[in-house]
Amino acid sequence: RILFVNGVLQSRRSSEIPYHEALVHPAMLAHESPSRILLLNCGGGAALREVLKHKGVESVIMVEEEKQVIDISKEFFPEYHDCSNIQGGIHHCLDDDRVELIYSDIYDWSDSQYEEKTGLSFDVIIMD
């Protein structure tokens, strides 16, 4: 199976594991103790799955513009969201208490955080 969003290839089942491992783990391992993670447009779910494999993760904010990406991924690519094999994991990664899902344009969301001076900071930011 292949996932396209707005005509652009987003994910291919046959290559998603090496792609998402390469997307996530170098950034996570580059930080001494990554605990606060920001995922931007990673709605397929596999990047979140890879982030949650790291034991020190305390919180993940996931900003996704397209709710349909998550809905389609849940239906047709359920293994992308499967955290059942992670120690202490639950079946669906988005159900993890450490995860906050926000539906918004990533640029609008980041602008609003800056303008509101929320003080949010992240150890690792991953954009797909």
Q: What's the structural domain count of the chain?
A: 1
Q: Where are the alpha helices (DSSP H) in the chain?
A: 16-30, 46-51, 67-76, 106-115
Domain span including residue 115:
15-127
Residue 8 is assigned to a structural domain of this protein: no
Q: What is the pLDDT of residues 1-20, one digit of tens each?
A: 777 777 776 666 677 888 89
What integer pLDDT is reported at residue 103 of this predicted model? 95
116: confidence class by pLDDT, cuts 50, 70, 90: confident
Based on the residue annotation, tell me whether 108 is a catalytic residue of this protein: no
Distance in angstroms between the alpha carbons of the first and the last residue of the chain: 19
Q: What is the pLDDT of residues 69-106, one digit of tens each?
A: 899 888 888 888 888 888 776 788 999 999 999 999 99
Nearest to 41 by CA among 112, 117, 108: 108
The CA distance from 97 to 110, in Å, is 22
**0.95 exceeded by pTM:** no
Instruction: Check which CATH number belongs to the domain holding 81 and give it.
Output: 3.40.50.150
Q: Which of 71, 82, 97, 128 does the annotation list as catalytic? A: 128
